[in-house]
Amino acid sequence: MEQIETLVIGAGAVGLAIAATLSEYNDVIIIEQNSRFGEHTSSRNSEVVHAGIYYPTDSLKTQLCVTGKALLYKHCQRYHVPVHKIGKVLISSNEHETAKLHTLVKQAKNNGVSDLQFLSPIELANRAPQTKAVAGVWSPSTGIVDSHQLMLSYLNKLSEHNGHYVSNTQFISAQFDGLQFIVTLNCDGELFNIKCKTLINAAGLFAQACAQKIDALAPNYIPALHYCKGQYFSYQGRHPFKHLIYPMPEQHGLGIHATLDLAGQLKFGPDTEFISHLDYSPNIKAKTHFVNAIIKYWPQLDSERLQISYSGIRPKLQKYGSQDFIIQDHTTHGVAGLINLFGIESPGLTASLAIAKLVTNMLKLK
């Protein structure tokens, strides 16, 4: 039976960042069930490099977003990944929201994001033209990144260090013998066993399903999973925005905000909808909700130019309240060499390299 030091399940941005980083120290294989990497959440998101403003100060999300952002910008420069520190404007549309904006600025400062600035009315009109805002805050460290090129750069780093990426290979189960895992994989329809000392479950929306197939892991360490769909509408034609425009956050997401891709295409979203099955199909009925949300801050929206686009699904661990990433090692679940990543929703793309660094530290490789 083939033996490897580390097996990573799932070639999304997070699994690839982990595999690329661990390959500096170790033999690594990363497997992907699909024929191409990153086809789930990692290619169905806003591609925003988040500053780290919103999350509670002592959360993993804050810690990993703030350090991940710096690591990501550095990595993108080194690997020539298209990225643009385009900046974003957070806007409030009434006095109540302005109070929330002040709270967010304080929150950001506590999180180590001390570059936010309140904009004067003239600056606000320049940075967020045509918007109906009573106050605005500028976040200069927010950016946009090409998520596909980012994942490709992680793959390149992995192969530079002689790590391996195998597609069309599905994790089926793992038996732990106290020292290592005997992992069963389905490679293009054929079952195959491989031994590894370290098993990293970075399967995103399938992380809970994979965890259930690891015999030594007690079920009480596997959190519930709720699919929360986020849909986007793209805006055809000319628009006045050069920066990202974010209204005040909603309960399960950051609100229907305006983002740009690296080609300058404007899109709006994502909204939030809990669904029972993994289903990315677009829902045109959401258009009215989008129009109502957007005209609150951009009254000149031409709704005819809004076209239904793609959707992504957040791996929520609960339906209500804020939640953090869960990254478990043996100190939590008692299984030596096993790391599970659950609930890696936003800002997982931004945080991917910091998550990889945390996993490296958990494995005491550094």
Ligand X SMILES: Cc1cc2nc3c(=O)[nH]c(=O)nc-3n(C[C@H](O)[C@H](O)[C@H](O)COP(=O)(O)OP(=O)(O)OC[C@H]3O[C@@H](n4cnc5c(N)ncnc54)[C@H](O)[C@@H]3O)c2cc1C
Closest CB 53 distance from ligand X, rounded Å: 12
Partners of 227 in beta bridges:
275, 315
Minimum distance from CB of 348 to ligand X (Å)? 2
Q: Which amino acid is at 66?
A: V
In angstroms, rounded to a whole number, what is the distance separating the alpha carbons of residues 229 and 314?
6
Choose between 267 and 333: whose C-beta lies nearer to ligand X.
267
Helical packing angle, 60-79 and 348-362, nearest 10°: 100
Instruction: Compare residues 99 and 278 and give the one whose CB is closer to ligand X.
Output: 278
**For residue 140, which of 73, 64, 232 has the smallest C-alpha distance?**
73
Q: Which secondary structure element, helix H or strand E, spans residue 50, and what is its range?
A: none
| Contacting positions for ligand X (CB under 6 A) | 9-15, 31-34, 38-42, 45-48, 50, 170-171, 202-206, 210, 230, 270, 312-314, 344-350
8 A C-beta contact, residue 37 and residue 11: yes
Least distance CB 20 / ligand X (angstroms): 12
Q: Which amino acid appears at position 329 of this protein?
A: D
Q: Which is nearer to ligand X, 323 or 346 (CB)?
A: 346
Q: Which is nearer to ligand X, 124 or 223 (CB)?
A: 223
Nearer to ligand X, 270 or 337 (CB): 270
CB of 30 to ligand X, least distance (A): 9
Min dist. Cβ of residue 202 to ligand X (A): 5
Of 10 and 163, which has the nearer Cβ to ligand X? 10
Helices (H), 238-337: 287-297, 330-333
User: Minimum distance between the CB of residue 335 and ligand X, rounded to whole angstroms?
Assistant: 18
SS3 192: strand
DSSP string, 108-169: HHHTT----EEPPHHHHHHHSTT---SEEEEETT-EEE-HHHHHHHHHHHHHHTT-EEE-SE
